[in-house]
Amino acid sequence: MLSITKIFKFDAAHYLPFHKGLCKNLHGHGYRLEVEVTGEVKAAGGPTAGMIMDFGYLKEKVAPILEKLDHHSLNDIFANPTAEIMAEWIASRLKESLPPWVDLVRIRLWETEDCYAEWRKD
């Protein structure tokens, strides 16, 4: 399988209302989002020849999702904004917007430099 991955960054605040530790308090993260897609490499001809998908086109598809998250309080969007819940939500939204010749393979949402949640296609 051949795939491509694009990395995105956004900042947001949240608190985990059911958590017993420090994360129950309002705090922020610099999130890193990795989006991996797969598909057939397009044959010769046209501006996307030799590509699964243009990275710029993938960026266009992710942008509306990031607009909802970047510099927002995640608790206004999610009742319990864990990285796991967010990764699944991002995958669900992105799958709806991708063209039919591309499959979403993986979403990896880094909450810190050493902690992430990952959604993978079944």
pLDDT for 1 = 82
Terminal C-alpha separation, the chain: 15
Structurally, the chain folds into a number of domains equal to 1
> What pTM value is reported for the model?
0.94
CA distance 62 to 43: 25
pLDDT for 43 = 81
- The per-residue pLDDT string of the chain (122 residues; one tens digit each, 9 = 90 and over) reads 899 999 999 999 999 999 999 999 999 999 999 999 999 998 877 788 899 999 999 999 999 999 999 999 999 999 999 999 999 999 999 999 999 999 999 999 999 999 999 999 98
Domain with residue 18: its CATH number is 3.30.479.10
pLDDT for 28 = 97
Query: Which residue segment(s) compose the domain that 42 sits in?
Result: 3-120
Q: Residue 40 phi/psi, 5° resolution?
A: -75, 140
pLDDT for 5 = 98
Burial class (CB in 10 A: 0-12, 13-18, 19+), 66: middle
